[in-house]
Amino acid sequence: MDLYAFTLEPQEWVDYDLANYYTSTHPQSRFTQTLTAQRVSPEARLILRNRELIVDRGGALETRLLADDAEVLAVLARDFDLPFPPGTRFFARDPQS
């Protein structure tokens, strides 16, 4: 199933700049309130939202809650190829609240 659609119509950089600035800085943007990472491979789609890890293999979903910041860092490094220095923290408040 397709998730995105694109056209061949030219776009102006200002359209990308404004949208990207909003999503990365506005206090009400989902991307400033939620740790979000996704990765697609031929075997599965991995989705990390805060401490919830979802593995979609097409026929079955596996969901689990990561225990703590250390496990979040381990999953980001191992499963998403996003290594961060030890001790990195993403949550200013309880991510489950």
Beta carbons of 47 and 84 less than 8 angstroms apart:
no
pTM for the predicted model, two decimal places: 0.74
- Average pLDDT in the chain: 88
Q: Residue 48 has what pLDDT?
A: 97
Distance CA 17, CA 28 (A): 18
Q: Are residues 90 and 69 in contact, defined by beta-carbon separation less than 8 angstroms?
A: yes
- Averaged pLDDT for residues 70-80: 96
The pLDDT value recorded for residue 3 is 72
